[in-house]
Amino acid sequence: MNLMQGTVNGWQQISPQKLAPMLFLAALALGEALWIHAHPLVFSGTEPVFWTTLILLSISWAYGYSGRSLALSEMSFYAALWIVTALIGAMLTYIFATLNLPLLDAQFTRLDQALGFNWLAFYGFVQQHPLLRAVLTLAYFSGLLQVFFSIIYLSHCARNDRNEELWWSSSIALMLTALLSGLLPAGGTLFFHSVGLENAVHLPHFMALREGSLNEFAFGDLKGIVTFPSYHTTIALLLIHAYRQLRLFRWVLALNILMLISTPINGGHYLVDMLGSGVVTVFSIYLTRRVQYFLQR
């Protein structure tokens, strides 16, 4: 799908499928800016994101307008969207963490136990098998690489509908995840059980935001501070969904099953975090289909 769509009075018209994501992100950015202006919270070092996004959008426009490479135009456009979405989403999780609502780790632990899931036993089992731990760690940290590989692969296959679907569903899910993480906060299993705390890199920022003891954060130092629901789970499910009926589906399915298995350990998540993410994922896919239907009318 080209970034440009026809002309109006001699001017190039941006297609609704491309304009809508930019307006969506602009609205979110404006809302965040207004909130940050009224509260003592500062995010620095975001300039590289601005310039990188501008360059990528320029490449997308140039190659789409000239028709030289629609695939490269798509890759550049969705890469720009994902970069901006990551920044806005990360900032949103930090904003909602300042609500400082009571932590729900004890309740989540009891729910896990009621479901028959013993996190400490699972953690101990994985720690006793170094090869399994290494495989799960690689799978857990493959999410970002999978996203950018998907941008390239889906553009190359001319499946721009899947690029659009993956971005919309992931973005909607990220906003819902940020909101729920503020309303239902938790420190995570590593925090609650006091094990592997050297891997709980989110805790300093998470606790500082709740206490109000730190209010300035550099973009390059932002952490994934969300426990409930698990965004890693959501990304794994959405990647599987995006590759349905495509050649690489089996490989993507296998890798993301490993990511799902790794999430309680490497992400310090409760089982209920993952179940909550399943609900968020289904709802995000539904909303995405409604958005796509509206934009194609």
Residue predicted with more confidence, 33 or 67: 33
pLDDT category at 13 given cuts 50, 70, 90 is low
- Residues 88-127: tens digit of each pLDDT: 999 999 999 999 999 999 999 999 999 999 999 999 999 9
Report the range of poorest mean pLDDT among 29-43, 85-99, 141-155. Answer: 29-43
For the ranges 8-12, 203-207, 237-241, which has the lowest average pLDDT?
Answer: 8-12
Residue 177 lies in a domain: yes
pLDDT attached to residue 10: 34
Q: Tell me which residue range forms the domain holding 119.
A: 14-295
Q: What's residue 297's pLDDT?
A: 78
Please report the DSSP string for 80-145 in residue order: HHHHHHHHHHHHHHHHHHTT-PPP-HHHHHHHHHHTT--HHHHHHHHHT-HHHHHHHHHHHTTHHH
The answer to whether position 68 is within a domain reads yes
Neighbours of 44 (CB within 10 A): 11
* Mean pLDDT, the chain, whole residue set: 93
Segment 249-261 mean pLDDT: 98
**Is the separation of the CB atoms in 20 and 291 below 8 Å?**
yes
Q: Do the domain assignments include residue 6?
A: no
- 4 in a structural domain: no
Count Cα neighbours of 108 within 13 Å in the Cβ-side half-sphere.
29
pLDDT band at 9 (very low <50, low <70, confident <90, very high): very low
The residue to which tokens 């938790």 are assigned: 186
Length of the chain: 297
The mean pLDDT of 227-244, rounded to a whole number, is 98
Average pLDDT over residues 197-216: 94
| pTM of the complete model | 0.93
In this structure, is residue 183 part of a structural domain?
yes
Higher pLDDT, 67 or 130: 130
User: In this structure, is residue 8 part of a structural domain?
Assistant: no
Output the six-digit token pair for 20. Answer: 């809508």
Q: What is the pLDDT of residue 262?
A: 98
Determine what percent of the chain is predicted with pLDDT higher than 90: 87
* Euclidean distance between CA atoms 45 and 216, whole angstroms: 11
Pairing of strands 42-44, 216-218: parallel
pLDDT of residue 6: 46
Given a cut of 60, is residue 222 above it in pLDDT?
yes
> Does residue 147 fall inside a structural domain?
yes
5 is a domain residue: no
- Into how many domains does the chain fold? 1
The band of 149, judged by pLDDT with boundaries at 50, 70 and 90, is very high
72 near 58, Cβ under 8 Å?
no
DSSP state of 42: E
Quote the CA–CA distance of 115 and 270 in Å, as a whole number.
11
Mean pLDDT of 181-194: 98
At residue 7, the pLDDT reads: 41
pLDDT at 263 over 90: yes
For residue 216, what pLDDT is reported? 93
| Residue 228 to residue 108: CA distance in whole angstroms | 9
